[in-house]
Amino acid sequence: MFDRNQKQVMQPWKAYSSPLLSICCITFNHEPYISETIDSFLIQETDFPIEILIHDDASTDATATIIKNYEKKYPDIIKPIYQVENQYSKGGGINSRFNFSRAKGKYIALCEGDDYWTDPKKLQIQVDFLESHPEYVITYHDSQPFDKGGYLDTNFWGALKDLEPIELQKATPIFTLTTCFRNIVDPFPFEAQMAKFGDLFIWSVLGEYGKGKFMKDIKPAMYRIHDGGIFSKKTKQQKNEMRLLTFYALSSYHTRRGNTQLADYYQEKIMKISIKHFGSIGIARMFYKSLISRLSSGFSNQ
């Protein structure tokens, strides 16, 4: 556990009435990793206050116990939710449902409970940029994938350049654990609950408010590959299903917003994945209609 006490962590913060930045962390059965993750939050050197919002999704190992020990030591900084029933199994959008809604910060940074940051200046650099560049809505940087054997020379498709608003709206992938963005979406769209890739949904919504900035001078964050990872160890079929659910959620969202061009863009992506996955246009169309019916019934309950 991080060796500085709460008073020492908070000492450099200026006289703000509330946190300027909210770190949103979702975790499930991350007992071997969660301490390293939380420590990487606490080492951040900022002149502004932060809050650490952790959502434990009914872990069955000692993850919650570890978080409670941190909460006891840093009660004014670490603010957890401990679920008794797993929420991810009921739908996506965990951060939007349980963390974003209680985030007090002007800015939000994301990192899941099995990843961690390496640069203690990360948050200060990102917030300083956003404070002085109102035309940008999100900042991000590089990440380094690794497993128990060491660094991996693998590309997980995160943007390494600046992004225009339309590129964000089209859900260009970004390394989620590197992001810091404006907390300006309130309330968060209910369609996010159907998106299995909640981060892609977030980028698309944020694209309505500005551009994305790649920050090459921040040290890479560490992206852990392990058997319990939500995405990295999924089969190809599982990943396709997750993409289909996410793209349908985005199509529904942009349809509701009246942006037919983006809605059509996501519907086309759904059809392409369906055809490739099921092998024929006829079967793909049947699957597509079934998907729409199933998800629409879920949306109607919102």
Question: What are the pLDDT digits (tens) for 115-130?
Answer: 999 999 999 999 999 9
What residue spans define the domains of the chain?
11-224, 236-299
Is pLDDT at 295 greater than 60 in this prediction?
no
**Backbone dihedral angles phi then psi of residue 252, each to the nearest 5 degrees:** -65, -45
Question: Tens of pLDDT along 5-24?
Answer: 999 999 999 877 899 999 99
pLDDT for residue 156: 76
Angle at 35 between CA 30 and CA 41, to 5 degrees: 115
What is the pLDDT confidence band of residue 288, given thresholds at 50, 70 and 90?
low
Task: Please say whether the beta carbons of 174 and 203 come within 8 A.
Answer: yes
Domain 11-224 fold? Spore Coat Polysaccharide Biosynthesis Protein SpsA; Chain A (3.90.550)
| Dihedrals phi, psi of 227, to nearest 5 degrees | -65, -25
Report CA-CA distances (Å) from 163 to 127, 183, 210, 287.
Answer: 18, 18, 9, 33
Sheet containing 221-224: which strands, arranged edge to edge? 150-151, 143-147, 221-224
**pLDDT recorded at residue 291:** 58
Structure tokens at 177: 């654990």
> Contact, 31 vs 66, CB < 8 A?
yes
CA distances from 76 to 16, 157, 243 (A): 14, 36, 38
- Per-residue pLDDT for 80 more than 80? yes
Residue 265's SS3 state is: helix
